[in-house]
Chain A
């Protein structure tokens, strides 16, 4: 499909169209210098340019807290699935986050041949409008091959000057694009910028992984006993920020919550973190990762060894959130590179 040109006002009318039939999650300003995905009430709230949000769009598909089902305890116990989720549109999803949704789709819907019904119900009613971006100092998308991801988006926008080059990638995207009115072709200049976006983007990335993702399982396995884990743990708070903000982390805890009257409640899952002390403890009292360095190593091994082997690629999309938001300023790429260097 040939790309077409949209003005900023056109994009807002696309958003308005989406809001007629779906809830829209879009990046908005948060605080002094932060951005967050938020359910918007007005297309004007959405920003078109942002480095990264605090939580990834994962929050719409695997919410931080979610009822797996609701129940009543009295007079007779009964369980019922949660209400069918409303259709949603994710606006402004960067290529790395598109790649992350692809990885989450595999983890939640395909891994072990088991499909998570709650995730799948949300995912099935999701429309995605992607948005091209330029990297900042935390991004390392080229190192994990996600810088130019389009897959997963229904409509993809590249900001070029005051305008956007829009690509409809699915029928849903086509319909959204049509809502902006008569199609017009981008100017020659805009088209030129659009065509050279990829190389420009790659050239701006300074943070680089010193190995290919496929090499990492063996490299890391060889450094299982490396002092890097101890050194990283010495700085790590185990606060779980890295896993909360990670677009590909999906671990959760499950607990029952009951209403004050005790008559009804829900079995609720919420984000958990392998960095928390209790994560790998068992009922008998043993904790399989009771030491902080074990938990730190687990995070890198999970993403770059185990899931890497199982999925066939690093379970990381280079968004830079874990590094940007780390309360102790621990750098994910720096830790990996120190392992790579140690093995050289």
Chain B
């Protein structure tokens, strides 16, 4: 058998919940470990190595001082995977970009706020080339395994552009709008198997918008269901779906499949 690819996990501004999802995969993770060698994973092990092939990077970039570190990871990694919505689209904290930074720091940290470095919140693709995107807050563990399989086979991974509604209907969940709740399922990228709507919750759009969202329809239809403009905007702003940064990141994710499409099993060149 060919040499096992060496895997590393890193994180920037995030809750580390996506790595926790990977850690919680159980048996499939053990099976995956027969195929790969994890060399760095702060959340899971004490050993670490800077010699790795595939980097899974969670979190968004919020400080200029993060940039050299991310670039070093990019330089070393043959394949860089953005893990979770913070990494792929910026995450919920993109909303901080709409606030005055100084005021925000005062609000959160009081008088000590000034000592913290806090800049514009950006997805990884705003700083380096990303080869695969795993959206979700948190990610779907099954999708992580699918992406891992794709990488091991040398396949490019294209996140589905089908909306959450599609998966919700295939699971025969009662429509959230019919339950009297606001829902972003029609414009949100699926791949989560509609996990939120399965548990009586609504879709908050954590995986970002589909490739061709009809936002005018969303406004019109939600208004007809009795929701006000501020209800609708509030819902869209949880994951900053309206922000230019998210739109740019979405477009980058659609266009940029990076190294993987350039050749199968890139780490074999070692």
Direct contact, A vs B (beta carbon within 8 Å): yes
- B residues less than 8 Å from A245 (CB atoms): 169
Count of inter-chain pairs, beta carbons less than 8 A: 112
> CB of A338 within 8 A of chain B?
no
CA distance A55 to B175 in the complex (A): 12
Does A113 have its Cβ within 8 Å of any Cβ on chain B?
Answer: no
Indicate with 1 or 0, residue by residue over B161-192, a CB within 8 angstroms of chain A CB atoms. 11101100110111101110000011100000
Decide if A325 touches B149 in the complex (CB within 8 Å): no
Q: Which residue of chain B has the shortest Cβ distance to A244 in the bound complex?
A: B169
> B186: which of A36, A53, A328 is its contact (CB, 8 Å)?
A328
The answer to whether A328 touches B174, judged by C-beta atoms less than 8 angstroms apart, is: no
Chain A, range 227-271, C-beta contacts under 8 Å to B: 234-241, 244-245, 257-262, 271
Among residues 210 to 227 in chain B, which have CB atoms less than 8 Å away from a CB atom of chain A? Answer: 210-214, 216-218, 220-221, 224
State whether A328 touches B221 (Cβ < 8 A).
yes
Choose, from B26-34, B89-97, B100-108, B118-126, the stretch at the interface. B26-34
Complex Cα spacing A255 to B175, Å: 28
Q: Is A19 an interface residue (CB 8 A)?
A: no
Q: In the complex, which residues of chain B have a beta carbon less than 8 angstroms from the beta carbon of A223?
A: none
In whole angstroms, what is the CA distance A278 to B212 when docked? 10
Residues of A close to B170: CB separation below 8 A: 55, 64-65, 244, 271
Question: Of A54, A240, A327, which contacts B162 at CB under 8 A?
Answer: A240
Chain A contact patch, size range = 35 or more
Q: Which residue of chain A has its CB nearest to the CB of B168?
A: A241
With known contacts A260-B31, A260-B145, A292-B214, A33–B221 Cβ distance under 8 A: no
Evaluate whether A236 and B172 lie within 8 angstroms (CB atoms) in the complex, with A34-B178, A260-B31, A260-B32 already known.
Answer: no
Q: Are B214 and A236 in contact (CB under 8 A)?
A: yes
> Given A30-B173, A277-B210, A277-B211, 5 other A-B contacts at CB below 8 A?
A30-B172, A32-B179, A55-B170, A234-B216, A257-B146
| Sampled A-B contacts (12; CB under 8 Å) | A54-B173, A54-B174, A234-B216, A236-B214, A238-B212, A241-B166, A245-B169, A258-B149, A260-B32, A261-B31, A327-B165, A329-B224
